[in-house]
Amino acid sequence: MQKDLGNYRKSYGKSALLEGSISDNPMELFQKWFYEVEAIQGLDEPNAMTLGTIGLDGFPKNRVVLLKKYTFEGFIFYTNYQSEKGRAIAADPNVCLSFFWPNMERQVIIKGRAEKIAENLSDGYFESRPEGSKLGAIVSNQSSVIPSREVLEADLKQLEREYSGKAIERPKFWGGYMVKPVSLEFWQGRPNRLHDRIRFSLQEDFDWKIERLAP
């Protein structure tokens, strides 16, 4: 089986990324870009991001997760701490996040360290979730092998009966991580593949070093 994709080409030219028009703080630029992406119609889940970890088997693994909050300190997402990604983070907290927004011809690549957030913050977010999502977090032994879809759905129905009329509390094995960045690279597509790449690197004095990279 083979398929030649050599003719898949696109010319980029919607915007530019120039040093004279950016903040000294990369989180301010991220917020500006995110607001602009949110305003574009036709892009589902602009908060979808790829999370890369180094697995216990030594291989890198990427998967899409949802950004649920960002602050000047970092980027927050939620998951099962006992999942494959959770165990990978426990062994090596150095991770990579990436956003790709094709409608704006933009990427952001973030290197940082993932840390569990405070339990009360995870409690607050869990409480805001729909009941079905709460029960889904409890019933799924995430990343483990299961015999069938039917078994999972039967377990969910049993939980629905158990929790009928009761408050659903966050399980201790589920919660949030904050990725605290040490590097953010902003990529803006440009004509002739001469793309703009601006990298912010965190220094020992907590200032950000700004550099332009060759495309």
Q: 193, 197, 199, 212: which is the annotated catalytic residue?
A: 193
Coil, strand or helix at 49: strand
- The sign one gets for the Cα dihedral 63, 30, 114, 125 is negative
161: left (phi over 0), alpha (psi -120 to 50) or beta: alpha
To the nearest 5 percent, what fractions of the chain are helix, strand and coil?
30, 30, 40
Q: Which residues of 186-197 are buried (b: 16+ CB within 10 A; e: fewer)?
A: bbbbbeeeebbb
Q: Is 170 considered catalytic here?
A: no
Distance (Å, whole) CA 183 – CA 101: 19
Identity at 30, one-letter amino acid code:
F
Active-site residues, by number, are 193
